[in-house]
């Protein structure tokens, strides 16, 4: 159910990409209280990006999940920004995060929906 996509202009080596995927999956599972077996993580290859007129490291994240309460988004933003700062050295003021709550009937999986 939870899906997180990370887009950044930071170049990462293949082993660092794999480690980031694993850590992100665990972080999302823990902070949403959902089993990791349902978490999907996508890390896009580094792309040219500009934020606030600068091409210094930045990131755009999309976090979608069934039953994502608006009351959790501020705490999730803090956790995700700290994570990106720790892992990729991207300051929180250079990160945008889009949160989406998906209806279970609009999320397909295993030939059906939730």
Q: What are the chain's domains?
A: 3-113 (3.30.429.10)
Q: Are strands 40-43 and 112-113 parallel, antiparallel or unpaired?
A: unpaired
Out of 2, 57, 69, 91, the active site residue is 2
6-48 pLDDT, tens digit each? 999 999 999 999 999 999 999 999 999 999 999 999 999 999 9
Catalytic (active site) residue 2 = yes
Is residue 102 within 8 Å of 65, Cβ to Cβ? yes
Q: pLDDT per residue over 46-68, tens digit each? A: 999 999 999 999 999 999 999 99
Question: The pTM is what?
Answer: 0.94
Alpha helices in the chain (DSSP H): 14-32, 73-88
Q: CA-CA distance, 30 to 110, in Å (whole number)? A: 23
């Amino acid at each position: 159910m939870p899906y997180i996509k990370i887009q950044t202009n930071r170049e990462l080596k293949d082993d660092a990409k794999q480690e980031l995927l694993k850590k992100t999956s665990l972080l999302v599972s823990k902070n949403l209280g959902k089993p990791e077996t349902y978490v999907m993580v996508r890390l896009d290859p580094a792309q040219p990006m500009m934020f606030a007129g600068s091409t210094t490291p930045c990131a755009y994240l999309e976090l979608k999940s069934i039953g994502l309460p608006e009351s959790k988004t501020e705490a999730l933003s803090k956790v995700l920004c700290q994570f990106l700062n720790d892992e990729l050295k991207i300051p929180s003021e250079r990160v945008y995060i889009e949160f989406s709550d998906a209806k279970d009937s609009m999320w397909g999986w295993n030939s059906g929906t939730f």
